[in-house]
Amino acid sequence: MPITKSSVILAIESSCDETSAAVLKDNKVYANVIANQTIHEAYGGVVPELASRAHQQNIVPVVAQALAQAGVDKSEINAVAYTQGPGLLGSLLVGSSFAKSLALGLGIPLIEVNHMQAHVLAHFIDEPKPTFPFLCLTVSGGHTQIVRVDDYLQMNIIGETKDDAVGEAFDKTAKMLHLPYPGGPLVDKYAQTGDPLRFEFPISDMPDLDYSFSGIKTAVMYFLQRQTQKNPEFISENLHDICASVQYTLIKTLLQKLEKAATLTNISQIAIAGGVSANSGLRKMMTEKGLEHGWQTYIPAFEYCTDNAAMIAIAASFKLNTEDFAQNTSSPNPRLAF
């Protein structure tokens, strides 16, 4: 177990449009409160200025609810953790300012956490936990990475997207289909009763272990333009098959490189993480690939796929162990890489 001494960590996540606070006590999640910001739906995407204002409104009640749910008093907290980046600068600033003030006020250590590293480390919240080394396909709205994980805090990106993230491809497809934001989960929902082989979309041909998702986005756009010119009802009449076919192409693209990475590294412990790891098609195909290749696969619980503070807390627990504390002065870094 990573933590040997008794500890209570309060963690805050505010990198995008979810305000979340979690309480981790002796390595166990006692609360993981998430406030979703519905205001962005009207704009078809996250509006940074509105996101940071909503974080300002949510942060105090979300933290209070997390502490109450965990039955923990402020005086019992040993460390405050927060998402340092990557993310929207205004959103990060709300979480970091709150965390810094609280740590300063309570006179306890402050721990900075990299958001993408936390997505990977979410695998250490529940059983079964992966052993090192393992590969993690980290797929979210802003990132698509294949990460080689050699230890809790020792990881390297061995492949990544050179343009759009796969979550963005899901969300943009949804937008073109006139579905509300965030559309990824809706594409998933309609895909479940559609034919994945009905329409064919291109798989990008990137070198090494890298990805590209801008091509498929453009291909879907031109495809829909052509089809709706011929039949204005094309989208509504074929929604399920379009979603299934696009999703199938995106997952096939993701898994092709993941298989290549497993072969190149000779690692057979394979995990997925990030918002898109909630996708039912990806979860199913990962399980199938595991059986086909003899992989040990790790698929996170739904509550730890999309943005949440529990993953920030578990990542912070490893830093608490090594006393890797932040100076309580720096400003957030929106483009931080690990």
Q: Can residue 140 be called a binding residue for ligand KG4 (CB under 6 A)?
A: yes
Q: Judged by CB under 5 A, does residue 277 bind Zn ion?
A: no
Instruction: Name the segment binding ligand KG4 (CB under 6 A); options: 44-52, 134-142, 211-219, 317-325.
Output: 134-142
Question: Given the rule CB under 6 A, which of 28-36, 126-134, 178-186, 288-296 is the region that contacts ligand KG4?
Answer: 178-186
Q: Which of 274, 298, 299, 314 binds ligand KG4 (CB under 6 A)?
A: 274
Sheet with 28-36: list strands edge to edge.
28-36, 18-25, 8-13, 79-85, 110-114
Contact pattern from residue 286 through residue 315 relative to ligand KG4, giving x for each residue in contact according to CB under 6 A and a dash for the rest: --------------------xx--------
* 159 interface partner picked from Zn ion, ligand KG4, none, CB below 5 to 8 A per type: none
Nearest to 36 by CA among 302, 308, 312, 279: 308
Length of the chain: 338
Closest CA to 72 of 27, 11, 12, 8: 8
* Interface segment toward ligand KG4; rule CB under 6 A; list 28-36, 60-68, 181-189, 204-212: 181-189
Q: How many CA atoms lie within 13 A of 173 on its CB side?
A: 36
Q: Which is nearer to ligand KG4, 282 or 320 (CB)?
A: 282
Binding track over 286-315 against Zn ion, x by CB under 5 A: ---------------------x--------
Q: Does 91 bind Zn ion (CB under 5 A)?
A: no
Residue labelled with tokens 């590969």: 135
- CA distances in angstroms from 310 to 14, 28, 200, 201, listed in the order given: 12, 9, 39, 37
Binds 194: which of ligand KG4, Zn ion, none (CB < 5-8 Å by kind)? none
- Count CA atoms within 13 Å of residue 281 on its CB side: 28
Residue 145 or 238 having the CB closest to ligand KG4: 145
Residue 84 in the binding site for Zn ion (CB under 5 A): no
Closer by beta carbon to Zn ion, 164 or else 307: 307
Spatial contact of 164 and 213, defined as CB atoms under 8 Å apart: yes
Site string for ligand KG4, 68-107 (x = CB under 6 A): ----------------------------------------
Stretch that binds ligand KG4, among 62-70, 102-110, 228-236, 270-278 (CB under 6 A): 270-278
List interacting residues with ligand KG4 (CB under 6 A).
16, 140-142, 167, 170-171, 182, 184-185, 188, 274-276, 278-279, 306-307
List interacting residues with Zn ion (CB under 5 A).
140, 307
